[in-house]
Amino acid sequence: MDTLSVVARFGVLIILYSYVFKINDGLIKNTTFVVTAWSMFFYFSFMILGLRNISKVIMHDVKTGNVEVLFSKPISYLFYRFWWQIGLGLYSFVVITIVGGLSLYLAIGFPSTFTSSIFLFTVPFIFLGGVILSLILYGIVGLLAFWIQDINPVFWIVDKAVMILGGSYLPVALFPLIMYKIALYSPFGASQFLTHSVYESWQSNWYELFSIQFLWIMILGFILYFMFKGAKKKVSVNGG
């Protein structure tokens, strides 16, 4: 059902943008509708993986005390939850990506950038980086539940930042310069670099984006690691 809603929202936005591009003679800021549509498709298809839900799962575990039970198991709690989350969304993700991608191809075709070797070679890695960074980002939000009672406000802030900077309303290519910069250098935008891979500019700046994403994975990964250590200590001292 969640998946259905995402698909419907994507459909609505695509129709709106096709109209917007049409009355602009098919070209806005040197970007074509086909490129824009595929960029948005990547955003929504990534969203269907549902990695953001990891925050709520962790919060739920903390609130119900389930986390103590899982801590006592011979597995790493975080990795267990990460894999669990990926597994949950994978099926819908694969199905929707294939069916959606095929329908979009039949409707508007592929952009020319798809056939470049750089695109084909880098896209799996930027996707993987996005998955890792998203899990870390939302994992940090979830772990906050050990320290503050209600993580929902934080979740909303992070989630909306990802949503806007990832290009859900306005495709990244149409961003004003300042927002483009924020999308480029913030972890929220960096988790959605997949959406940049469709554009012409990707051919020349892909390594820059890779470096930024990698840097954020390292920084936030460390934060997550230390937070998790702190959380473990908190559980063993206070009993949760």
Residue placing its CB nearer to other proteins in the complex, 129 or 166:
166
Calculate the dihedral angle through the C-alpha atoms of 178, 182, 183, 184, rounding to the nearest 10 degrees: 100
Tokens representing 21 are 């591009």
Residue 127 identity: F
Does the footprint of other proteins cover residue 148 (CB under 8 A)? yes
Question: What is the maximal distance between C-alpha atoms in the chain?
Answer: 65
Q: How far apart are CA 91 and CA 227, in angstroms?
A: 31
Q: Under the criterion CB under 8 A, does residue 157 sit at the interface with other proteins? A: yes
Residue 88 sits in the site that holds other proteins (CB under 8 A): no
Size of the site for other proteins (CB under 8 A): 38
Residue 19 vs 105, nearer CB to other proteins: 19
Here the tokens at position 23 are: 């009355």
Tokens describing residue 203: 């051919």
> Segment near other proteins (CB under 8 A), from 38-46, 77-85, 112-120, 145-153?
145-153
Cα dihedral value 152, 158, 161, 164, nearest 10: -60
- Using CB under 8 A as the binding rule, whether residue 126 contacts other proteins is answered as no
- Which of 83, 84, 121, 169 binds other proteins (CB under 8 A)? It is 169
Q: Is 156 in the site for other proteins (CB under 8 A)?
A: yes
Does 17 interact with other proteins (rule: CB under 8 A)?
yes
The whole-angstrom separation of Cα 154 and Cα 111 is 37
Give the interface segment with other proteins, choosing from 5-13, 75-83, 128-136, 230-238 (CB under 8 A).
5-13
Q: With respect to other proteins, which residue has the nearer C-beta, 22 or 233?
A: 22
Tokens coding 235: 């559980």
- Residue 33 as a binder of other proteins (CB under 8 A): the answer is no
Sequence-distant (6+) residues with CB within 8 A of 104 are 37, 38, 41
Least distance in angstroms from the C-beta of 3 to other proteins: 8
Helix (H) / strand (E) containing 133: helix 117-143
Binding site for other proteins (CB under 8 A): 1-6, 8-9, 12-13, 15-17, 19-20, 23-24, 28-29, 91, 148-150, 152-154, 156-157, 160-161, 164, 169-170, 174-176, 178-179
